[in-house]
Amino acid sequence: MLISTLTTCALRCPHCGKLQYYGISRFSFNQNNSLAYKCECGAVLINIEKKGRDHFCLQVACMMCETMHKFYYKSKQIWNGNLWVIVCPASGVELGYLGDRKSVVDCVRKEREHILQLADSLGCDKFFLNSGIMGQVLSVLQEKLEEGRLFCGCGEKQLEMEIFPDRIELTCPSCGAVGIIFAETVKDLQRVREMDEVRLEMGSYLYLDYKQIGKHSPLKNN
């Protein structure tokens, strides 16, 4: 069995949405009982605490719950080259990856490719202000669409979707209703996830995330 002394952790920051990589050395815990790893914006993304000789408690910042979740691992699980997907127990959202560097980088690449495919299938070739958030918002919308929870009040279910760097615009081809969903910050993602249904209002122009009114300037056609 290959014994590794370095494991890689990739986590998304709940505050700024950026993905951060950390190399976590087994030897750092010879002197320290606990170590905190921060995002470049200053937020603590993971805190690793040594419990006894062989056990570790990982507290991972969750962007959905705005809290830290605890996960317990044995040292041989962390530093054995296996890949662990860190998942929020409440929402099922993937918070990050832990394992050997190549597997972690592969996961992040797949996540990115998935976003690009999704954007491509929707006919979007624009850059995103925050591609991680955009990808997840699109996934949530796709999920709601498949469950029949994305529709227009006029009864139309085949909505047209247009993607912009910071938002998604849904248009109803039957009555012309428009709905705007922002996809730039972690808050935007949280709100979309919290919506039971995405419903356009017949014939009207609507910010589906009503809390955003006033925060963003009025939209122009571009």
Our CB check for Zn ion shows the closer of 65 and 108 to be: 65
Q: Which stretch binds Zn ion (CB under 5 A): 56-64, 129-137, 138-146, 159-167?
A: 56-64
Per CB under 5 A, the list member of 10, 11, 58, 62 interacting with Zn ion is 62
Our CB check for Zn ion shows the closer of 172 and 208 to be: 172
Our CB check for Zn ion shows the closer of 185 and 212 to be: 185
Query: Interface with Zn ion includes 13 (CB under 5 A)?
Result: yes
As a whole number of angstroms, the distance between CA 97 and CA 83 comes to: 7
Q: Please give the C-alpha separations between residue 195 and each of 99, 187, 188, 208, in angstroms, as whole numbers.
A: 34, 13, 11, 9
As a whole number of angstroms, the distance between CA 126 and CA 134 comes to: 12
Query: Interface with Zn ion includes 152 (CB under 5 A)?
Result: yes
Per CB under 5 A, the list member of 39, 61, 140, 168 interacting with Zn ion is 39
Q: Select from 74, 62, 79, 68 the least CA-distant residue to 24.
A: 79
Residue 17 zone, left/alpha/beta (φ > 0; ψ -120 to 50; rest): left
Q: Select from 79, 78, 20 the least CA-distant residue to 45.
A: 20
Our CB check for Zn ion shows the closer of 43 and 105 to be: 43
State whether residue 77 is helix, strand or coil: helix
Q: Which of residues 162-181 bind Zn ion (CB under 5 A)?
A: 172, 174-175, 177
The residues of the shown chain that bind Zn ion, judged by CB under 5 A, are 13, 15-16, 39, 41, 43, 62, 64-65, 88, 90, 152, 154, 156, 172, 174-175, 177
